[in-house]
Amino acid sequence: MSILDKERLTVTRGDDGSVTWTLTRPLLELADVLPCGILGGMAAFALRNWGMTWEQAGPLGAAIALCVLLLQGFIEVHQESLAWLPGKGVLLQARRRCRFKEQTRAVPLARLDGATIHEHVTPMNKRRTYLALLLRQRGGAPTPEGELGEAELAFPNLIPSPALLRQVLQDLEPLLAEKDSVKGKGGKAEPKKKK
């Protein structure tokens, strides 16, 4: 992965019918350059005011900014995955490079009602696009038409491009439609009754 890559999506298909979509963010992005430069300038200015010369403060300010940027890269979530487990449900995971506070959420097959792409506009007028897994009500009944139900967001930390989310949704929709035709536990179809 290069610094110019924004994100990378890998799809892994298992022999058991499982599918895992993994989204990975690089350690440094091109968008990180401007904030790093501003931070380095502010650090150099502060060091200059403490009595250092510009020749000393400049490189030290740049080093401080780079250290902060690398630390942020190690602490942030850098990889998220959505795993389809046939007969069981969906597993959502978020990993950090430092392995601190990894998150795992499981959504049982009985609670899954569908998936959709949701667009959200922040107060700063920035568009965010999410893949939402629509959930059935606690009793297993689908959410009534026109009502808002519960949802689990896939890739909420990395906020991938809409094109990547559409690709995941396109692969996931047939699996969700297939699960509706599967009844019983363990993903086994109920035997047909003879007349």
Q: Is residue 194 part of a domain?
A: no
Q: Considering its fold, how many domains does the chain have in total?
A: 2
Mean pLDDT of the chain: 80
Domain span at 51: 30-75
Strand ranges (DSSP E) for 111-155?
112-121, 127-135, 151-154
12-26, 139-153, 168-182: lowest mean pLDDT where?
Answer: 139-153
Note the pLDDT of residue 118.
Answer: 83
Q: Does residue 175 sit in the same domain as residue 89?
A: yes
Q: DSSP assignment, residue 192?
A: P
d(CA 55, CA 61): 10
Q: Does residue 58 sit in the same domain as residue 154?
A: no
Q: Is residue 136 part of a domain?
A: yes
Instruction: Please write the tens of the pLDDT for every residue from 126-168.
Output: 888 889 998 887 776 767 776 767 888 898 888 788 888 999 9
Note the pLDDT of residue 1.
Answer: 52
Q: Does residue 20 sit in the same domain as residue 110?
A: yes
Q: Is residue 114 part of a domain?
A: yes
Q: Does residue 110 sit in the same domain as residue 133?
A: yes
If pLDDT is split at 50, 70 and 90, which confidence band does 193 have? very low
